[in-house]
Amino acid sequence: MNFSHKAIEKKWQKYWAENNTFITTNKNDKKAYILDMFPYPSGSGLHVGHPRGYTATDIVARLRRMQGFDVLHPIGWDAFGLPAEQYALKTGNNPVDFTKKNIAIFKTQLQKLGFSFDYNKEIDTSNPNYYKITQWIFQKLFERGLAETREADVNWCPELGTVLANEEVLVVKGKMVSEVGGFEVIKRPMKQWVLKITNYAERLLDGLNNLDWPNSVKELQKNWIGKSKGLEIDFKIEKSSETLTIFTTRADTIFGVSYLVLAPEHPSVLKITTSENLQAVKEYIENTKTKTDIDRQDDSKPKTGVATGSFAINPITKEKIPVFIADYVLKDYGTSAVMAVPAHDPRDWDFATKYKLPIKFVQESPSLEKPFVGETVLINSDFLNNLSPKNALLKVTEFLISKKLAKEKVNYKLRDWLFSRQRFYGEPFPLLFLEDGSIALIPEDQLPVELPKVEYIKPSGNGESPLANVTDWVNIQFQGSKARRETNTMPQWAGSCWYYLAYIITTKPNNFLEIASDEAFELFKKWLPVDLYVGGQEHAVLHLLYARFWHQVLFDMGIVPYPEPFGKLINQGMILGENGEKMSKSKGNVINPDEIVESHGADTLRLYEMFMGPIDAALPWSFKGLDGSRKWLDRVYRLVTEKTITNNNNKELDFVYNETVAKVSKMIEDMKYNTAISQLMVFVNAAMKAQEIYKPYLEGFVKLLSPFTPHLAEELWEFLGNSKTITYETWPSWDENKLVQKNVTVAIQINGKLRATLEVLVGTTKEELLDKAKAEKNIYSYLQEHTLVKEIAVVDKIVNFVVK
């Protein structure tokens, strides 16, 4: 008989809710903080890719509860965001109502999947109680000199009426467009709030060494921070008082420099450009404004540039070299000026080839037809000849510094964090601009600064956020003087920078302890760092980097006891469509988990997504695989409810049961869920063949199954006569003595061909194996008819007779 998933899931979800089964406990020294990257509650709800990560963490959370840990396994909503704002602008509806409706949909979907979240810890970043603390943290950043206003070139989208981060901009047919809506994006200077994350660049880099994170994520962060040690070298401009300072990590190649190249935004560009080249340079500068930094760094794109008409003087060789501008050099890295050595840099090679510039090899190269980037001795380099690059670098560095032509410098690619958004639906800044030009922070006892309640929002029309339209909110009196609120709001990243801390100090949904209190510190001391953090690799850099930055500032303030927030990180792989393509509405291959829960059950969906393959692999969806998972669960149900159960152990299942407990326990720890399920299947196969099943083994199996398929496990646990939830039952242990198999199958061959098999005790000697093999009916008759030449026996494995 098969089971009714609808009845069972409804029954146990009701039980868990009424009994507050998954409430965070605070009884033990052992703790497990199991965290998911919280979702943005969009109107489209979940698709089948979302439950993959949530199921992975839920399995660990359920395991830890059964192992006697205090478990914090929370969920919340990254609720501010551009989609809600766009919905409000288009429809005239309030984004708050839109967001609440979406949260309700998401929450219902998650509850139907049986995740053991503690909903007492639920948070919503758009709740004033929540963003009160976000605003407080911003004020502390401001007080510590880590937040300031600055004129910055930004990605401005007139249609959306807001600044976009580089990651929110695409380049389509050579033009920048918004990721949301595909609207035109342009570069324009604008006064913005920035956070000085660059002050923490070195610490953010060093901190990666102690984290149990995928190497790919660590490398992405290292590359984003982009530390490089080198020299700043001065090149004088011929017939000018101007000097260009370039940054290079390869000063050893200075004899191979054939041109200098500046970022189009370099402040000296127009100063050194000759009148003949001025028009072309200005046009190139304007054209560069239509490109994102990401697009400009794309090495697959053709290199372009324009000559300024000026020449620089190589400080060592005294050669005249032309000065160009090119968009592959960025204004924010180094000095935004570099020396080009085409023979040993692919980008410079492409540029020099295109514009017919000299190419000078200064390292021994096997070919003069392409750039060489290996490690060989220097040539054509005067006093550096025959030296290795490392030794040449030391020697030229000493020479240039002694002549006061250069200085050592450490640079980072990391840029300060642009923290302003021209949006209504975000955290208001907790400060005021006063008449005298100064900035005043809102007193802490007056936080939060709440968003005004308006019937509808509309664009300001002047580049400010829609908040600028709410004049009675913007213009106020403060301590007897006129003051104006900041009309920009914080980016969506702000709320996600500290949400993992919010869960710890949540006393009930969206109600928090004071973050700087002694009580909060003690809780942080217990629960931090996060023991397991699971989410998509799309957050590998920005969210994780920003959250680490805020955490390190809070650590410096004594708010949190440890410098890093997330101990172990796992990126779950994407679930693709059945054809192997990424799921998307436009392709019509998105699968709604609600439909799967209806047809196959939540436990089947959970089991199938864990059985598909390694948790970090991108894998195609298969309805055939889903059907197979359901059939196996039906078999499990029949095993427990229909087989004969006994309290006497006939030892028939001793080995396979203890092997299953040992392997599944280890595999869950290693998050090898697909192989853990395979081992559970091994046990079921063996148990189905057994005449009867020892009850403690059956109960142990149901416990092993429970993290994967909790509804069915609860039902089977009750069927076996237990009155309490399985959630806090003790995780099974195994007997090492029973992991030694007593019998083994030995192959018997004649002239290398299998003729029979023999079941013997493990460790049976060679002599005994040969005697038993010769006594086998088929083997005996064969040996009688042939002459035995040689006999070979390998204990526990094989017997081979050579005959003629």
Task: Show binding-site residues for ATP.
Answer: 585
**Omega of the bond prior to 448 within 30 degrees of 0, cis?**
yes
Q: Which of 485, 491, 500 is nearest to 448 (CA)?
A: 485
Strands 788-794 and 70-72: unpaired
Helix axes 695-705, 623-642, angle to 10 degrees: 150
247 phi and psi angles, rounded to 5 deg: -115, 135
Which residues sit opposite 321 in a β-bridge?
A: 312
Q: Dihedral sign, CA of 356, 361, 367, 368?
A: positive
356 phi and psi angles, rounded to 5 deg: 55, 50
Residue 69 and residue 24 in contact, taking contact as beta carbons nearer than 8 Å: no
Q: Which of 613, 615, 614, 595 is nearest to 605 (CA)?
A: 595
Residue 68 and residue 28 in contact, taking contact as beta carbons nearer than 8 Å: yes
CA 206 – CA 222 distance, rounded (Å): 9
Q: Which of 140, 178, 136 is nearest to 156 (CA)?
A: 178
CA 467 – CA 524 distance, rounded (Å): 36
Helix axes 623-642, 602-611, angle to 10 degrees: 120
Place of tokens 């949006």: 423
Q: Which of 340, 325, 343 is nearest to 268 (CA)?
A: 325
Burial of 675 (0-12, 13-18, 19+ CB in 10 A): middle
Residue 756 and residue 776 in contact, taking contact as beta carbons nearer than 8 Å: yes
Ramachandran assignment for 42, one of left (phi > 0), alpha (psi -120 to 50 degrees), beta (any other)? beta
Ramachandran assignment for 613, one of left (phi > 0), alpha (psi -120 to 50 degrees), beta (any other)? left
3-state SS, residue 133: helix
HSE (side-chain half, CA atoms, 13 Å) at 646: 13
Q: Which of 713, 567, 497, 534 is nearest to 49 (CA)?
A: 534
Supply 489's token pair. 């709001």
3-state SS, residue 721: coil
Binding residues: 585
Q: Which of 446, 448, 441, 455 is nearest to 427 (CA)?
A: 448
* Residues contacting 488, CB < 8 A, separation 6+: 192, 193, 420, 421, 422, 423, 429, 464, 465, 467
Supply 662's token pair. 């040992």
CA 90 – CA 97 distance, rounded (Å): 14
CA 278 – CA 187 distance, rounded (Å): 21
HSE (side-chain half, CA atoms, 13 Å) at 369: 1
Give the CA radius of gyration of the chain: 34
Q: Which of 35, 29, 37 is nearest to 67 (CA)?
A: 29
Place of tokens 């005249």: 320
